Amino acid sequence: MHIFKELEARGFFYQFTDKNQIKKLITSGKTPVRNRVLPKVTFYVGFDPTADSLHVGHLLPIMAMRRLQQAGHKPIVLVGGATALVGDPSGKQEARPILTREQVAANAAALKAQLGNFISMDDAIFVNNADWFTEIRFLDFLRDVGYRFSINKMLAAESVKQRLETGLSYLEFSYMLLQAYDFYFLNREHDCTMQFGGQDQWGNIVAGIDLVRKMSSQEVFGATFPLLTDSQGQKFGKTAAGAVWLDSARTSVFDYYQFWRNCDDADVKKLLGFFTMLPVEEIAQLSELQPPALNRAKEILAYEATALAHGSGEAAKAYLAAGGKFGFADQERKIPTSSKIVEVKENQQVGIQDLPTYELLKSELTGDGIWIIKLFTDSGLCASNGEARRLIKGGGAYLNDQRITDQDLQITEADFTDNAAILKAGKKNIRRIVLS
């Protein structure tokens, strides 16, 4: 299957500026630029370093970029060291927090390291738009770029219209100009002819295409990926404890694995298509499995997604730890798959130390002990005290496999065996609490 058809079959595309031309260019790999013909398409995807880690919500464009690169096209990975200082209003109800230049620079370096797990940096161009925006004078930018933008068109953009009701600063309003200039700069310096981004980036992408046409008389193209939601219509990549991060210091490898393993039955086919490299035909077969056999498809999804983000060794540990605690879905290997999960032997010994761990100082247990609500929030199993209270009230809180019913329970050293205890939120969100 050709890369365009494969991306389309997996559901990656949402909007095109010119579907037929984009399909033709990606299929042929021939891009006319300034009377020259380049062998492959050069495209770009941008990420603003507003944090020191990407999260699961960023993965859709990353996976598309990975597939396009494997098909021979050249990705430009843009980290917005300048645009992160401004803040993209797209999809936001209020302004982002203003970051310092030092924070943005540190975040940009962290993101580059994470992206290297998904794409080959040897055959990609990595850029930071701070490198060119810091050299541009404000009046020059207004005269060369600003006058080419229609305020009427900018106000009509969905990302702007949504924010006009709650308030939009001039700082954020100018974001569209900056992203548009990124496309112009990358087209001029790197012969970039395509931009890909999330569904909420449509207005910014179209603005960039218009600017390139006006300033360089070049035809460039853009496409967006769908806003990813779960079967309940909720934004994908969120849990009760917050966002699911790619950085294991923020979200443990075990919790990352469990996030995928615990997906809804209705989402399995879609997620396998987006976030694994399994063939489309195999995905169709796996997604047709009926419960409880469908759990094997979820194990494969979790293993493959975790291997991409953290490596096959860490994925195997998470698979074995989860299976050892909750059981394996296909221990007899009756369900065929091309996934490397088949190389992991379920009878390997995985100790309790492979579960996600939270260290608790013994000094916190002096006196009456530590409040169970605080322990749930401090360990990351719940995002707030209210969330922890609701968990206990609903019967989903466990300490050492005993259901917790008292919201005022105080945990003492007597609840620990060999300085360790097991805390669970529901049956599959777990923490090993270790005294230190």
- Which residues are designated catalytic? 50, 55, 58, 92, 96, 179, 200, 235, 238-239
Q: CA 354, CA 255: separation in Å to the nearest integer?
A: 11
Is-contact 226 10, C-beta < 8 A? no
Q: What are the DSSP calls for 360-377, one per residue?
A: E-GGGGSTT-EEHHHHHH
**What angle (nearest 5°) sits at the alpha carbon of residue 284, between those of residues 280 and 287?**
130
Strands (E) in 339-401, as ranges, are 357-360, 370-371, 397-399
Residues 6 or more apart from 218 whose CB is under 8 A from it?
33, 34, 187, 193, 212
Is-contact 397 403, C-beta < 8 A? yes
The crossing angle, in degrees rounded to 10, of helices 280-287 and 294-310 is 140
**Does residue 292 have a cis bond before it (omega within 30 degrees)?**
yes
Residues 6 or more apart from 288 whose CB is under 8 A from it?
none
Residues 6 or more apart from 105 whose CB is under 8 A from it?
81, 130
Going by the DSSP 8-state scheme, the letter that residue 99 receives in this structure is P
